[in-house]
């Protein structure tokens, strides 16, 4: 069986290729993809040949590279040992690829129980677990203040989740004024430019002395430093954004040690594989939580989607991702058969 897959064939180049789709083994399922979502930061690093994409992977940069770990679709085949889903079930696929048929282990699909949840929403549920886990690890309490540094897809979802979790006030920080406006429409109480001289002073003013929780999504040293400048005593900083360089220094005594700041590693892989417990949920349980929040009307993800493209348009889409600094926050591919 053949299928279509988006492949980064060389640096800065994406192509839609015809590849083999193998039959599922006893513990695997085959899913017909309906919608997949671009993870802008990770996929930009992938296609540009950044060596620091997977902290747990092999060293060196090798092409071709594949990506596209957020998708949703319908189970069309399953192995004999698969028990949690049936053929015809609508599912979220995580750690799959941008391809029209994904074959993955059973434990990489989550059934969409609520028929009201669209494929577009479901295809964002996995990436939503990244900021969800970061927020869980900070042990945010209702009524505490929070700041999000960086307003890409993870930062915008973090704003929404913090609002749902009861943080107040919520501060959004990004140099891009358009993204600050979007954040204000999606749950942020204030939005500031972190490049302004009085940035930290403004944050401390609206929070009465500093924020309790920071979600750092930029992956840039300056973003971490600026977050530390905004913290209240005993604040917690979750490092969610993947760092692509280490060209920065921190005054640990002044900014961390003396005020008693807790710094938390919040990479999405830094979580339990099997059993969830308070503050530390598995990917599966966090996906289920996101789907429940969306189905219950507590969380809306679809209003972040700015563009939906056919897979055949991938070369132009990824060219923009590489070179356009104003690439949209959320872009999806629609893999449904067109008549």
Instruction: Using alpha carbons only, give the angle 113, 39, 154 rounded to the nearest 5 degrees.
Output: 80
Task: Confirm if 189 and 169 have CB atoms less than 8 A apart.
Answer: yes
Q: Could you give the percent of the chain with pLDDT greater than 90?
A: 90
What is the residue whose two structure tokens read 């599912």? 91
Beta-bridge partners for 63: none
CA nearest neighbour of 242 among 261, 263, 266: 266
Identify the band that residue 243 occupies on the pLDDT scale cut at 50, 70 and 90.
confident
pLDDT tens readout for residues 271-289: 999 999 999 999 999 999 9
Amino acid 7: pLDDT: 97
Provide CB contacts within 8 A for 338, sequence distance 6+: 310
Predicted confidence at residue 246, as pLDDT, reads 65
Of 322, 338, 321, 220, give the one whose Cα is nearest residue 330: 321
- The SS3 assignment for 180 reads helix
- pLDDT for residue 191: 98
Strand partners, 54: none
In angstroms, rounded to a whole number, what is the distance separating the alpha carbons of residues 230 and 240? 17
For residue 6, the tally of other CB atoms under 10 A from its CB is 26
Cα gap 142→160, rounded to integer Å: 14
Tell which phi-psi region holds residue 2, choosing left (phi > 0), alpha (psi between -120 and 50) or beta: beta
Omega into 15 within 30° of 0, i.e. cis? Answer: no
pLDDT band for position 339 (cuts 50, 70, 90): very low
Per residue in 85-105, pLDDT (tens digit) is: 999 999 999 999 999 999 999
Strands (E) in 118-180, as ranges, are 146-149, 170-173
Instruction: Identify whether the C-beta of residue 104 lies closer than 8 Å to the C-beta of residue 79.
Output: no
């Amino acid at each position: 069986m053949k299928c279509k897959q988006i492949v980064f064939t060389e640096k800065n180049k994406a192509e839609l290729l015809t590849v083999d789709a193998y039959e599922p083994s006893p513990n695997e399922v085959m899913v017909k993809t309906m919608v997949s979502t671009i993870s802008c930061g990770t996929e930009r690093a992938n296609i540009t040949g950044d060596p620091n994409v997977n902290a747990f992977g092999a060293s060196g940069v090798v092409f071709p590279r594949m990506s596209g770990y957020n998708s949703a679709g319908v189970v069309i085949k399953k192995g004999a040992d698969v028990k949690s889903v049936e053929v015809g079930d609508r599912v979220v696929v995580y750690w799959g690829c941008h391809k029209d048929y994904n074959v993955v282990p059973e434990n990489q699909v989550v059934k969409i129980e609520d028929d009201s949840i669209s494929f577009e929403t479901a295809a964002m549920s996995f990436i939503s677990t990244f900021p969800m886990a970061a927020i869980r690890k900070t042990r945010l309490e209702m009524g505490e203040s929070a700041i999000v540094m960086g307003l890409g897809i993870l930062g915008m979802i973090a704003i929404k989740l913090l609002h749902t979790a009861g943080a107040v006030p919520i501060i959004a920080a990004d140099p891009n004024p358009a993204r600050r406006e979007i954040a204000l429409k999606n749950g942020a109480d204030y939005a500031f430019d972190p490049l302004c001289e009085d940035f930290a002073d403004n944050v401390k003013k609206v929070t009465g002395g500093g924020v309790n929780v920071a979600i750092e999504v930029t992956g840039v040293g300056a973003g971490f430093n600026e977050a530390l400048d905004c913290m209240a005593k005993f604040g917690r900083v979750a490092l969610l954004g993947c760092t692509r360089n280490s060209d920065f220094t921190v005054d640990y005594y002044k900014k961390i040690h003396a005020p008693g700041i807790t710094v938390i590693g919040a990479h999405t892989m830094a979580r339990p594989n099997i059993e969830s417990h308070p503050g530390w949920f598995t990917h599966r349980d966090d996906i289920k939580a996101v789907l429940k929040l969306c189905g219950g009307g507590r969380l809306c993800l679809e209003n972040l989607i700015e563009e939906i493209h056919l897979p055949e348009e991938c070369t132009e889409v990824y060219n923009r991702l590489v070179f356009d600094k104003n690439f949209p926050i959320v872009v999806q591919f629609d893999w449904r058969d067109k008549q």
